[in-house]
Amino acid sequence: GQNIDQPTEMTATEGAIVQINCTYQTSGFNGLFWYQQHAGEAPTFLSYNVLDGLEEKGRFSSFLSRSKGYSYLLLKELQMKDSASYLCAVRAADSGAGSYQLTFGKGTKLSVIP
Amino acid sequence: ETGVTQSPTHLIKTRGQQVTLRCSSQSGHNTVSWYQQALGQGPQFIFQYYREEENGRGNFPPRFSGLQFPNYSSELNVNALELDDSALYLCASSPTAVDTQYFGPGTRLTVL
């Protein structure tokens, strides 16, 4: 099976930087995704890492260490609209079906305060 | 906007009934995955369809079934509804089975 852990809630100040951590245990690892989900809406894709290192995309960066089973999402210059849940998801091979399966963590609810 | 659409937006059913949810994938995408998201939880994988064939299944009972059509749109059918089936049902499409998935707006199902 797979196990994905991320903090339940975080609070940060507008304009600041926040780091959301995600740890995972899985076999057949094939990539890690971060999605943003505003309340009552669908998840939207933020970033994808399959190799170790940092991927930067504007105010958002994501880091992966496969040997440690660890990733983080870094949000810079926080804005009020960044208040949302952030979902870490691991893609792994489903050896039985010969396909890949995406498993999500429970999400981290980020509140940005003035 | 991802180009993935779902219908209906909201649905209320009673225990024991059956429901069909629909998803139109983004143009050019041949893979559709379905997820169940309970309140305060992350999405849970139900199954994936690739070129009209089931291509992987999560830990859901057989009363959850699906179809994918030649135009790559998809249906999720749930029989014998239970109260715990109340959730947001999300479909996601991707260009292939190993590409990034893009989600539709979801269908909110309430079972009374």
User: Residue holding tokens 């196990």?
Assistant: A3
- Which residue on chain A is closest to B42 by alpha carbon? A106
Any chain B CB within 8 A of the CB of A95?
no
- Which residue on chain B is closest to A95 by alpha carbon? B56
pLDDT at position B7 is 96
Chain B residues with CB-CB distance to A43 below 8 A: 43, 90, 103
How far apart, in Å, are the Cα atoms of B50 and each of A37, A99, B54, B93? 25, 10, 6, 10
For the residues A83-110, what does the mean pLDDT come to? Answer: 89
Any chain B CB within 8 A of the CB of A43?
yes
Q: Where are the beta strands (DSSP E) in B10-112?
A: 10-13, 19-24, 31-37, 44-50, 53-57, 64-68, 74-78, 87-94, 102-103, 107-111
For the residues A93-114, what does the mean pLDDT come to? Answer: 87
Residue A7 banded pLDDT, cuts 50, 70, 90: very high
For the residues A1-18, what does the mean pLDDT come to? Answer: 94
Over residues A25-69, the pLDDT tens digits come to 998 899 999 999 999 899 999 999 999 999 999 999 999 999 999
Give dist(CA B58, CA B65) in Å, integer.
Answer: 11
Residue B67: how many CB atoms within 10 A of its CB? 15
What does the DSSP 8-state code read for residue A30? E
- Interface A-B, measured as beta-carbon pairs within 8 A, has a size of 56
% of chain A beyond a pLDDT of 90? 86
Select from B5, B98, B110 the residue whose CB has the most chain A CBs within 10 Å, as the one to mutate to test that interface: B98
Q: Do B98 and A30 touch (CB under 8 A)?
A: yes
pLDDT at position A97 is 61
